[in-house]
C-alpha cells in the first residue's frame, strides 16, 4: 500500500534540493492541459468501470473454481502450497487484491515491459522510473517479503496478518537510493523485514483497532516509521553509498498542433492512470498495471470468494481506484509538469479501496473515497517528502500521507447522506 520514488534523472523538488527526488513519468516543463488530461484519465477510468460492472454482473455465474479466502491464512501453517500462494498474494495485497493469480499477472506484465524495454520498444513504457534497476528492485522486495513470511508466518495461525508490508517500501526504495548490487539488495531486504512487519503487527491492535480505523492505516504507518528507522541505519552502513543523480533531462516542449496536443495529453493521462496501479510496487509501468487488473479480474471470475479478502467487492474497488487516480492526475497535473511526478497513486492503495470496504461498496464509499483521497493524499505526501533530508526516500512521506488521509477521509465519508 505504498510508495514511489527516486529516479536518478529527475530534478529535485522545490524546497528539497539536496534530496534524490521522485521518479518522473513526465519530463519537467511539459505542459499538460486540463481538457486532454481529463479526457484520457477519465476515459481510462470509464474503461475500468465498464470492466468492473461486467465483473459485478458475472459474479453470480462464477464456477467457484479453487479455494476462497476463508481459512487461507491458517492453511499456510501446514500447507507449503498455501504458504506459497500467500507469499504471491502479498505482492498484490497493497492494492487490496490479495490474489496469487493477480501477482502472476503483475510479474508477467513487468517482465514483458522489461524485455521490451531492453529492445527499446516505446509501447512498453518505462519501468522503475527508467533507472534500469527493476530486476534489483524486484529481487530485494521479494527477498524482504520472503523473510517477513518466514520469520512472522507463525502469526497467521490466528488469521490474517500484514506480512506483505516489506514488499512495497524499504527494500525497493533502498535499491533506488543506493543502486544495484547484492549488498544493497540484502541490506534493504533485511532492514525492511526487521522493521516494518513487526511494527505493523504492533500498530494493528494498538492504533487501528482502538480508533476504529481499518488495518491499512496501521500498515502504511508501519511502512513510514519503519522506513525512517531503516534509512537512519543505512546511513551508518559503510558499504552503502548514495547514488549520484544524473543530469536533469531537457524539458519536452509541446507540439504546435492543438489537436495533436489533445491526443498526446489524453494518451499520457490514460497511461498514467494505469501506472498508478503499480506505483506502490515501484514498477510504475502501464503494461504491468493493465496485466494486474486483467489477472485479478480472471481470479474474480473463477472465484469471487478469493480476491479482496473474499468480500466480493473487487469490482467496486477497481472502479474506485481508477476514479481516484483519474481525479488526482487531472487535479495535480501541474506537479507532473513542474516536477515530473506526483503521488496520485497514494489514494489508489489506501483511501479509495479502504472506503469501499468500510462502507460495503456503497456509492458514497466508492465515489466519496475516490474524491476525498485524490484531494488529500497527494498534497500531504508532497509536503512531507519535500522536507526529508538526503538519504531518506519519499516513500516515508507517501505512506505517512496514506495513513493521515485514510484516518481523516473515512469519518468524513460517513457524514455523507
CB atoms within 10 A of CB 267: 14
- 22: helix, coil or strand? strand
pLDDT of 305: 97
pLDDT of 243: 86
Q: Considering all CA atoms of the chain, what is the largest pairwise distance in Å, rounded to the nearest integer? A: 64
| Distance set, CA 2 to CA 103, 186, 260, 380 (Å) | 16, 20, 35, 14
| Distance set, CA 231 to CA 170, 225, 226, 296, 396 (Å) | 8, 10, 9, 33, 10
pLDDT of 214: 96
pLDDT of 27: 52
Contact 19, 176 (CB under 8 A): no
Q: What are the phi and psi torsion angles at 6 (to 5°)?
A: -85, 115
pLDDT of 34: 86
- 200: helix, coil or strand? helix
Residue 278 cell numbers, joined: 503499480
- Give pTM, 2 decimals: 0.91
* pLDDT averaged per 10 residues, the chain (length 417): 38 32 46 86 98 96 95 97 98 98 98 95 92 97 98 96 97 97 98 98 96 96 98 96 64 44 92 98 97 98 97 98 98 90 97 98 97 98 94 96 98 89
Q: At what angle do helices 286-302 and 34-58 cross, to 10 degrees?
A: 20
Question: Whole-angstrom Cα distance, residue 131 to residue 34?
Answer: 29
Question: Whole-angstrom Cα distance, residue 188 to residue 176?
Answer: 10
Residue with cell 506537479: 335
DSSP β-bridge partners for residue 6:
22
Contact 405, 412 (CB under 8 A): no
Q: Where are the beta strands (DSSP E) in 246-322?
A: none
Contact 275, 25 (CB under 8 A): yes
pLDDT of 5: 35
Question: Whole-angstrom Cα distance, residue 235 to residue 231?
Answer: 6
Residue 26 region by backbone torsions, left for phi larger than 0, else alpha for psi between -120 and 50, else beta:
beta
Amino acid at each position: 500500500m505504498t510508495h514511489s520514488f527516486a529516479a536518478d534523472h529527475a530534478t529535485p523538488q522545490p524546497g528539497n534540493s539536496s534530496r534524490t527526488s521522485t521518479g518522473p513519468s513526465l519530463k519537467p516543463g511539459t505542459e499538460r492541459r486540463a481538457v486532454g488530461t481529463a479526457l484520457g484519465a477519465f476515459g481510462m477510468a470509464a474503461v475500468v468501470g465498464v470492466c468492473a460492472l461486467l465483473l459485478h454482473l458475472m459474479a453470480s455465474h462464477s464456477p467457484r473454481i479453487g479455494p476462497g479466502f476463508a481459512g487461507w491464512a491458517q492453511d499456510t501453517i501446514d500447507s507449503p502450497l498455501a504458504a506459497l500462494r500467500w507469499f504471491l498474494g502479498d505482492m498484490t495485497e497493497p492494492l487490496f487484491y490479495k490474489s496469487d493469480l493477480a501477482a502472476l499477472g503483475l510479474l508477467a506484465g513487468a517482465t514483458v515491459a522489461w524485455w521490451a524495454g531492453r529492445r527499446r520498444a516505446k509501447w512498453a513504457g518505462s519501468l522503475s522510473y527508467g533507472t534500469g534497476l527493476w530486476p534489483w528492485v524486484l529481487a530485494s522486495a521479494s527477498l524482504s517479503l520472503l523473510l517477513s513470511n518466514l520469520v512472522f508466518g507463525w502469526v497467521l495461525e490466528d488469521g490474517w496478518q500484514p506480512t506483505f508490508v516489506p514488499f512495497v517500501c524499504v527494500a525497493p526504495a533502498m535499491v533506488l537510493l543506493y543502486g544495484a548490487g547484492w549488498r544493497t539488495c540484502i541490506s534493504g531486504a533485511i532492514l525492511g523485514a526487521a522493521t516494518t512487519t513487526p511494527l505493523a503487527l504492533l500498530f494493528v491492535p494498538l492504533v487501528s483497532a482502538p480508533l476504529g480505523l481499518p488495518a491499512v492505516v496501521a500498515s502504511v504507518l508501519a511502512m513510514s516509521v519503519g522506513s525512517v528507522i531503516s534509512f537512519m541505519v543505512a546511513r551508518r552502513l559503510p558499504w552503502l553509498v548514495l547514488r549520484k543523480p544524473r543530469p536533469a533531462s531537457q524539458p519536452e516542449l509541446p507540439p504546435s498542433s492543438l489537436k495533436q496536443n489533445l491526443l498526446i495529453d489524453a494518451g499520457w493521462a490514460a497511461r498514467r492512470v494505469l501506472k498508478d496501479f503499480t506505483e506502490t510496487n515501484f514498477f510504475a509501468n502501464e503494461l504491468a498495471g493493465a496485466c494486474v487488473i486483467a489477472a485479478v479480474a480472471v481470479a474474480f471470475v473463477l472465484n469471487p470468494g478469493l480476491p479482496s479478502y473474499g468480500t466480493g467487492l473487487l469490482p467496486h474497488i477497481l472502479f474506485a481506484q481508477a476514479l481516484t487516480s483519474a481525479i488526482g492526475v487531472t487535479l495535480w497535473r501541474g506537479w507532473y509538469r513542474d516536477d515530473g511526478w506526483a503521488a496520485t497513486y497514494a489514494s489508489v492503495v489506501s483511501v479509495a479501496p479502504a472506503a469501499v470496504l468500510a462502507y460495503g461498496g456503497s456509492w458514497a464509499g466508492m465515489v466519496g473515497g475516490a474524491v476525498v483521497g485524490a484531494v488529500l493524499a497527494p498534497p500531504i505526501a508532497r509536503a512531507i517528502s519535500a522536507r526529508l533530508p538526503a538519504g531518506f526516500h519519499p516513500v516515508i512521506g507517501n505512506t505517512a500521507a496514506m495513513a493521515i488521509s485514510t484516518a481523516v477521509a473515512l469519518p468524513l465519508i460517513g457524514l455523507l447522506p
